[in-house]
Amino acid sequence: MLADLEELVTCESFSADYTAVTRSAQVVAAQGSRLLGTRPRLLDIGGVTHVQWTFGTPRVLLLGHHDTVWPIGSLTTHPWSVEGGVARGPGVFDMKAGLVQMFHALASLPSLDGLCVLVTGDEETGSDTSRALIEDIARTCSATLVLEPSAPGGALKTSRKGVSLYDITVHGRAAHAGLEPERGVNAATELAHQILALQTMATSVGMGTTVTPTLVSAGTATNTVPARAELNVDVRVTTPAAQEAVDQRIRTLQPQLPGATLHIDGGPNRPPLAPDASRQLFALASEQAERLGLGPLRQTAVGGASDGNYTAGVGCPTLDGLGAVGDGAHADHEHVITAEMPARARLLAHLVGALR
């Protein structure tokens, strides 16, 4: 398993580099073919390469991704290593160890009939090219098992917040900042008003909602009243009702400065993964863990989203966080506890067997 993990981690797969993602897809396909005994379909959708195996008529979808947030060259600063039972490297936790565990779990089964394995190449950037594929498969299945990394301590993820993403552009009017600033309409000042309005929005909606201004830009020169300003907004919600409420409020934002205008793009990206979508699958996984002597499973709710949000959103029961045990997704301390990998693979194998 460690040799296979090294193979995946040392093939860098930054989401924005489509050539690297294609190369990674080929490595994933070759590794999966060796362990599963058959070649997958390589699907190029919008330049992004996804990997899919289908065995008979799918009833269970096993879902993962092979792209990472780490730019090409990160192996130089974050090299692959295994020391003291800890594996490190870009994407090792999120989520290449999960892919290795999945392949080895499935290789231990006497039959793969009724399974679909989908490894996408754009999860980290919102799954723009793979969303329709994920949802179409999930609609035909009775369960989705997501190999995203576990929560701290190995907890499974039985609830995830939904995500909405917005781009707000302010149009003002340029003027010389020293000679006649009063003739301008300051887009940066207008954007500040909008940021303050956004700060009160989460409180008014409630229910665990967060509305976070993130990337901000304005202006073209230090001596010019900004004619344009831009803001990205990240929204996290626990319910579809909250997601709709925030969407309506953001779309009805109004400019505060005379002469300023707003343009709002974006909207809901991933629906929430509600606890009800995971309840029965978590109970089944707990039974299997007890049978295997793996101790009681824990579950938790997390703010981050995954492709499991999409599968739950179309009504397919979904259990997430079945991948690696470790910590540090997207961070310098990203790592995997290697001793947990065989146990997680056994749990997945028995869970798949129980579902079929």
**237 and 128, same domain (yes or no):** no
CB contact at 8 A, 7 and 63: no
Mark which of 270, 303, 337 sits at the end of a domain.
270
Residues 6+ apart with CB under 8 A from 310: 127, 131, 134, 135, 138, 270, 271
Q: How much of the chain exceeds pLDDT 70, in percent?
A: 100
Taking the C-alpha atoms of residue 144 and residue 160, their distance in angstroms, rounded to an integer, is: 15
**What digits encode the pLDDT tens for the residues 302-342?**
999 999 999 999 999 999 999 999 999 999 999 999 999 99
Do 150 and 187 belong to one domain? Answer: no
Centroid of chain to Cα 165? 13
Question: Which residue blocks in the chain are alpha helix, DSSP H?
Answer: 2-9, 18-36, 74-77, 97-107, 131-139, 187-205, 240-251, 279-292, 308-313, 340-355
Whether residue 91 is found in the same domain as residue 196 = no
Tell me which of 253, 270, 287 is where a domain ends.
270
Q: What is the pTM of this model?
A: 0.91
The answer on 180 and 129 residing in a single domain is no
- What's the pLDDT at 203? 80
Regarding whether 192 and 124 lie in a shared domain, the answer is no
Host domain of residue 186:
162-270
Tell me the three-class secondary structure of 150-199, residue by residue.
CEHHHEEEEEECEEEEEEEEEECECCECCCCHHHCECHHHHHHHHHHHHH
Q: C-alpha distances in angstroms, 118 versus 41, 129, 162, 237, 241?
A: 10, 13, 22, 27, 30
| Distinct helix (H) and strand (E) counts, the chain | 10, 16
Same-domain status, 148 and 77: yes
Can you give the CATH number for the domain in which 70 is found? 3.40.630.10
Q: Are strands 162-171 and 228-237 parallel, antiparallel or unpaired?
A: antiparallel
113 and 240 in a common domain: no
Mapping DSSP to helix (H, G, I), strand (E, B) and coil, where does residue 51 land?
strand
Same-domain check for residues 243 and 309: no
Query: What is the number of domains present in the chain?
Result: 2
Q: Which of 210, 239, 270 is the last residue of a domain?
A: 270
Radius of gyration from C-alpha coordinates of the chain: 23
pLDDT by residue (tens digit) across 169-217? 999 999 999 999 999 999 999 999 999 999 989 888 877 899 999 999 9
Looking at the chain, the whole-number percentage of residues with pLDDT higher than 90 is 96
**Do 277 and 153 reside in the same domain of the chain?**
yes
- Write the CB contacts of 180 (distance below 8 Å, at least 6 apart in sequence): none
170 plus 260 within the same structural domain: yes
Judge if 286 and 149 occupy the same domain. yes
